[in-house]
Amino acid sequence: MKYSELYQDSINHKEAFWAKQATAINWLKHPTNTLSVNEKGFYQWFTDGELNMSALCLDDHIAAGRGNEVALIYDSPVTLIVQHFTYNELTHLVSKFAGGLTKLGITKGDTVVIYMPMIPQAVIAMLACARIGAIHSVVFGGFAPHELAMRIDDAKPKAIVTASYGLEVDKVIHYKHLVDKAIDEANHKPSYTILYRRTNGNDTINHANEIDFETLINQSEPVNFVAVEATHPLYILYTSGTTGTPKGIVRDTGGYATALKFSMTHFYNAKESDVFWAASDVGWVVGHSYIVYGPLLNGCATVLYEGKPVKTPDSGGFWRVIEQHKVNLMFTAPTAIRAIKKEDDEGIILKQYDLSSLRTLFLAGERLDPATFSWIKNLLQKPVIDHWWQTESGWPMIGIMMGVEQFEAKSGSAGLPVCGYDIQILSEEGEKLGPNQEGFVTIQLPLPPGCLPTLWNNDERFRKGYLEHFLGYYLTGDGGYKDEDGYFYIMGRIDDVINVAGHRLSTGEMEELIAAHPSVAECAVLGIADELRGQRPIALVVIKDGIECIEEILENELVALIREKIGAVAVFKNAVVVKRLPKTRSGKILRKTIRHIADGLAYNIPSTIEYPESLTEIELKLSSRKLGNAFQ
């Protein structure tokens, strides 16, 4: 079937389409009720079905006689360790760790926070939670204790699983220390901390409620998987919102499993026994969907890479992994490719490796600029596919469905709508816009399986944030347009969230922290274009009357504050002192205008601005500091 036919079938006959796709996975109780609406008015998929994600990812492949095939490849250039785990070996470890969790009284519906580096024990912990119906919440290891504490208070975990340390190239990050600080700050106190000690004698077990990861596995009996309802939450994954409070994206089990299987075959064109590598982190949605669950569900070998695109040891790190492990499909962020390009613009190091196993490179996480697209495509001489999706969706929304029909990708475009997503560009008034008219990127309800059914313990925030702006549509939070051929172009966020190297961060939260500084009267944090990361935050700061401070010292204090409270992941480096912030007469800060100044884009001075000279001051300040694309 051609793409256009399959896509229209998914839009015009939603229930029949997804009922058919659901047959591709092994249900413990096959659903008869495909789509329904619950008492809150939210859509749900496969409500009367039962399954287990751990069984789909592990036990089913063993039952099919594939137990001795490789399931997980751990490659750590920072420790010079490479390990292979077969489906038999991984299942044994997962079932024993699940037995350990059960021994601690953790059962179906309990929550577990996982704060781990990119090591096999992180994957084992995730799959073990899924095995017993516990709901895991993986928190990216780059987040500071304050961020972790907020997530602990929201998820209220019975246990936290962590490791003694993580490695960032040549830097050691002491996870256990960060977790201890987060628990001290949090109001909710988990019953247990489960610690994986990476080296002998590293980090001592200090309290009765601290348990050694390896000891728990060794002293526990393996347990079988439990059946859970299709609507049972598999995990909570926190993402930044426009306020400082993180949003807990809930992922159901049945719809997600159906969508992942569909995406692996129809979008990524993955075959059973392929080697699939998503060069991301288990703390992000890509890690959940396409390091852990998607590839294993599809019977692939998945690569878990503890390294960077450069400096581990050089810009050939990615290409070495592809050659050594014969990777067939790779997924990474444009930031990674830009980092490699910066160090190997001529592709001299790349050409030293045999990349013949690689069929397709997929890129997502932020906008793929045409220059980066052309550079990597010309060097690889392979299909390079940009695509767009969100933590909320859990799987691709726009792209080229390589397992259906292999269209040529358009430079600058994220691609065509993926089956199940009825994507519309709407005006502020809710009218459908035509080709090349920029507006709000929305999806007509219902969302397909796998997308968030709600937010963790916050239905009202889900309703207000996503469903109320346009009746009958899901608001993605991004702006964009489509061209005459139906290709979509995503132009960036319409809210106060910025995308730093594929990581969504709240400018509102940074503003709250900066505004609390005793010298700061008010501030505005915004994302400016960054050649490497897509965007990075800068702050414009107004000092309180009567306070004298040295701008350099204040900037250092604010940088340290953001690093302490949010983490190095924010890449916050600059705070610029100004006399006043440019605002409309109603008090709205002209963030878009400031961004355009920093990025060297044309802008109009609004007639409603109160102090036009404030824009001139900002332009001079950014220019003198050489901040923003316009001044570099």
Q: Which CATH superfamily is domain 3-307+387-466 in?
A: ANL, N-terminal domain (3.40.50.12780)
Nearest in space to 540 (alpha carbons), one of 567, 580, 497, 599: 580
The residues, any chain, with a CB within 8 Å of residue 136's CB and separated by 6 or more, are 111, 112, 113, 114, 125, 126, 129, 130, 234, 235, 236
Is 585 in a helix, a strand, or coil? coil
Q: Looking at domain 497-631, which of 1.10.3720.10, 3.60.140.10, 3.40.120.10, 3.30.300.30 is its CATH number?
A: 3.30.300.30
384-409 pLDDT, tens per residue? 999 999 999 999 999 999 999 998 88
pLDDT at 335: 82
Structure confidence by residue, pLDDT tens digits, 108-162: 999 999 999 999 999 999 999 999 999 999 999 878 999 999 999 999 999 999 9
- Spatial contact of 321 and 327, defined as CB atoms under 8 Å apart: yes
Average of per-residue pLDDT across 65-74: 98
Tokens read off for 476: 């993605």
**Is the model more confident about 348 or about 532?**
348
Over residues 41-54, mean pLDDT: 98
3 state DSSP class of 423: strand
Question: 1-5, 452-456, 490-494, 526-530: lowest mean pLDDT where?
Answer: 490-494
Task: Report d(CA 426, CA 523) in Å as an integer.
Answer: 32
pLDDT at residue 595, as a whole number: 84
Asked if residue 490 has pLDDT above 80, the reply is yes
C-alpha span between 385 and 373 (Å, rounded): 9
pTM of structure: 0.86
- What confidence category does residue 607 fall into, taking pLDDT thresholds of 50, 70 and 90? low
User: Which one-letter DSSP state was computed for residue 324?
Assistant: H
Confidence of residue 356 (pLDDT cuts 50, 70, 90): very high
What type of residue is 261? Answer: K
Lowest mean pLDDT among 64-78, 192-206, 549-563: 192-206
Higher pLDDT, 59 or 171: 59
Q: Is 242 a residue whose pLDDT tops 60?
A: no
* Mean pLDDT of all residues in 244-261: 94
Percentage of the chain beyond pLDDT 90 is 73
End-to-end C-alpha distance for the chain, whole angstroms: 50
Per-residue pLDDT reduced to its tens digit, 208-240: 899 999 999 999 999 999 999 999 999 999 987
pLDDT higher than 70, residue 201:
no
Domain residue ranges in the chain:
3-307+387-466, 497-631
The pLDDT > 70 percentage for the chain reads 97
pLDDT in tens, 537-551: 999 999 987 888 899
Residue 14: which residues within 8 A CB-CB, separation 6 or more? Answer: 35, 420, 446, 448
Q: What is the pLDDT of residue 401?
A: 98
